[in-house]
Amino acid sequence: MKKMYHFFILFLILGLAGCQQTKNPSTSSSIVIKDYLSITEMISQGEGNYRIQGRILKIQNSNNSFRIWLQNINERNQKEAILLTNCQFNDTLKKGDWVIAQGSYALINHLPTMNAPVLTKVEAEKEISLEPTICTFPFWQNLNLYDLNQYICLKNVHLMSINEENNSLIAEWESIYIPIVIDCFQDMLTYDLISYLKENFHLNQQMNFNGMIDIAPNGVDYRLKIVEYTDTSIANISNETKKIHLYGINDFHGAVLENGNEMGIVQLGSFLKTKKAHGNTLLINSGDFFQGSIESNYNYGALLTDCMNEIEFDCFTLGNHEFDWGVSMIQNNQKRKGDNGYQTPFLAANIYQYDIDSKEIGDYAQLGEKYTIKTLENGLKVGIIGVIGKDQITSISSQHVDDYIFLDPVPIIQDLSDELKTKKDVDVVIVDCHTDQDSITENASVFNPAKITSISPVSNQRYVDAVFCAHTHQNESQILNGVPFIQTSGYGRSISNIELEVDKNGNVSCTTYTNLYSLDIKYTDEDLHQIVEKYTTITDTVGQEVLTQTSASLDRYGTLIHVVTAAMADYAKNNDIEIDYAIANSGRADIDAGEMTYAELYRSLPFDNEIYIIETSGRTIKNQLNYSSNMMYRLDSEPLYDNETYTIAVLDYLALHRNTDREYNYFPDAKIIGKYTHDEYELFNYRDLTAEFLRNIEFLNVDLYSYEQPQHNKDLLNQFVTF
């Protein structure tokens, strides 16, 4: 016989708690059968009477109130307790005997009960074994009351703590903490099991636990109940499937501090450091990490690079906004080391040198590595390839990337995967890409699987086993051809989690692909806190400056940009620069009504775009205003004529924008005649220009910057207006 279980004595304890019992010393030797039967047959005989056949698993001596507990194995492999009260039998019964119980059956105090059943000992050759159901992570996440009492196995969980005071353990599994309570029926046995655990296992060890799903006294939280030594074992990683725990972030955009549902780098990083300490864990950063706040921009990403090295990310793929400060800043951050000497590998597999005039592709650009290889504690070798979307070069101010080209990542991923699997003996290939799922899969679907998820004719394995996406700030989690693709909405609002398993034959499967939301995670790491504090002592002072008071909130797609273009026009007037229009594109965040601080403005206008003065045609201006989200301030009261030449102030990103063919496309006929400058600024960007403008306005009436104002109304371009 394999293993026979007796968890439902727990229900006996609960069921008897409300029953009055008297202890009679003179009858202390009488036998009370208070046991389980492995039920193989339960037949209704009508009018509430049943016939049950099963095997006794345990007998206890107690008072003279005869009770038997039957253990039922139903079609879901679930254990149910049936209490037999006032049993009638003639034979001497012992553990292991097969019996038939006949009697009335009903729910009493929510407990299945047989009252006064007649027990008959029978001969039976059939032996049954009860094996636990392997519990999957999604199952545990979605427990409900119907799952109570199931006999399950939690495989490869980490033992986090042993509490002798309340006979409990804490296990960590897939980023959640599971309480495990020990109930051995007798204090001595419970103590022995705790001692056994402390002597034979250590904290953070991977273990297996067999037990029954139970609910905590609060009636809300679920837990696991274990009974004996055989319920615990060390996870046999070498002979079983090996796990890889992957956690990723994307498009963090400098969200250093906690803000609403954005967890901030200390909380996010503390959580990731905890995960990394468990072993067999990789941390993925999919780019656009630095750009976006005064706390990060003020030091050109040094703060977040130091945090990234402290957390020990396993890779960091360059995103388009990593280029906003020029290539030199990428290289400066790449050279930085953590206090322990750790350097996060920067990845940029498909970025090559480029001659903008001849359109010739040069050598690999060396802005990062093509891939990095990590060997885990379980012996698995994991290759991580980092790529950026080929069209994202158009999302960068062209002056920073005219010497580079982003090649199609798909064939590069395929080639590098073959190299990793055939020459580097890599077991698993992960793609860390700064592009969205549709781009990297070429809009593949279940019926048209992506090329990178197909089987390579070179390695005879799948090209990739998991893909972390970015750039579009969309919550994505999907399986295509067996490969998980995942992305968060960015800003540290959530963390991507993928769990992979590799069997003894090298087959890779995904067991979990989900986004973990930040507000469920609370940790604090002192080292990370000190890094942030070191830099923010400077930025806090600068960022807290109140620029003005506003009458209403400012919309990043409307009124905020109208204020920006008004500031551009105001600067031109005050500096004798003759322009007809000022044009800017949308911001990154709205600003609430009331006090507006410099830090809030920084978050809304995080980019260091300069303001160019160009000459261009009326037709080009119309195209840019009528077929885009760009906003304007109009200084010329006359209609805009297609064939006339106008002088405008415009952000450099727009003035110098190139398309995928690397041709100027927003203002193709533009002639650059200058740019805005300021004696107090080495680089005078549109954010600081707007701040200077607002400092001179004590109270900003937002109504004056609405679309209805003729200076901002694009519908009136063909008309005369008065200001």
How many angstroms separate the CA atoms of 33 and 66, rounded? 6
User: Which residues make Cβ contacts (< 8 Å) with residue 267, sequence separation at least 6?
Assistant: 258, 518, 521, 522, 523, 524
User: Which residues make Cβ contacts (< 8 Å) with residue 311, sequence separation at least 6?
Assistant: 269, 272, 273, 276, 283, 528
Residue 450 has a pLDDT of: 78
Instruction: Provide the token pair at 334.
Output: 């790449």
What separation in angstroms does the CA of 229 have from each of 60, 128, 189, 554, 565?
20, 21, 10, 64, 73
**Average pLDDT per block of 10 residues along the chain, 723 residues long:** 32 30 29 49 74 64 39 36 70 73 75 77 57 73 77 83 82 81 57 71 80 82 77 66 95 96 95 90 98 96 98 98 97 95 98 96 97 94 97 95 96 97 96 91 60 92 96 92 94 96 90 83 85 96 97 98 98 97 97 98 96 98 94 96 98 96 95 96 95 98 97 96 89
Ramachandran sector of residue 14 (left: φ over 0; alpha: ψ -120 to 50; beta: rest): alpha
The DSSP call for residue 110 is: T
How many angstroms separate the CA atoms of 258 and 266, rounded? 8
37, 100 in Cβ contact below 8 A? no
Residue 110 has a pLDDT of: 54
How many angstroms separate the CA atoms of 350 and 365, rounded? 9
User: Which residues make Cβ contacts (< 8 Å) with residue 295, sequence separation at least 6?
Assistant: 254, 256, 257, 303, 532, 535, 536, 539, 543
Residues in the chain: 723
The DSSP call for residue 274 is: H
617, 623 in Cβ contact below 8 A? no
Residue ranges of domains in the chain, CATH in brackets: 9-122 (2.40.50), 133-234 (2.40.50.140), 242-536 (3.60.21.10), 544-716 (3.90.780.10)
Long-range Cβ pairs for the range 532-539 (8 Å, 24+): 532/256, 532/257, 532/265, 532/266, 532/295, 532/303, 532/307, 534/303, 535/295, 535/298, 535/299, 535/302, 535/303, 536/256, 536/257, 536/295, 536/303, 538/298, 539/294, 539/295, 539/298, 539/299, 539/599
Q: Which residues pair with 373 in a beta bridge?
A: 383
452, 409 in Cβ contact below 8 A? no
How many angstroms separate the CA atoms of 531 and 338, rounded? 10
Nearest to 610 by CA among 685, 688, 692, 690: 685
Strands (E), 469-507: 476-480, 483-487, 494-502
Residue 546 has a pLDDT of: 98
Task: List strands edge to edge, sheet with 360-364.
Answer: 360-364, 351-355, 404-406
Residue 492 has a pLDDT of: 96
61 phi, psi to nearest 5 deg: -90, 135
How many angstroms separate the CA atoms of 557 and 705, rounded? 12
How many angstroms separate the CA atoms of 262 and 128, rounded? 53
Residue 184 has a pLDDT of: 58
DSSP-assigned letters across all residues of 687-698: HHHHHHHHHT-S
How many angstroms separate the CA atoms of 143 and 147, rounded? 6
Residue 425 has a pLDDT of: 93
626 phi, psi to nearest 5 deg: -85, -20
How many angstroms separate the CA atoms of 394 and 653, rounded? 10
* Residue found under tokens 């297996």: 208
Residue 188 has a pLDDT of: 44
Strands (E), 599-688: 611-617, 631-634, 645-651, 671-675
Instruction: Provide the token pair at 213.
Output: 């799903």
176, 246 in Cβ contact below 8 A? no
Q: Which residues pair with 361 in a beta bridge?
A: 354
How many angstroms separate the CA atoms of 525 and 409, rounded? 37
How many angstroms separate the CA atoms of 132 and 55, rounded? 18
386 phi, psi to nearest 5 deg: -115, 125
How many angstroms separate the CA atoms of 384 and 636, rounded? 55
How many angstroms separate the CA atoms of 483 and 444, rounded? 12
User: Which residues make Cβ contacts (< 8 Å) with residue 663, sequence separation at least 6?
Assistant: none
How many angstroms separate the CA atoms of 143 and 366, rounded? 49
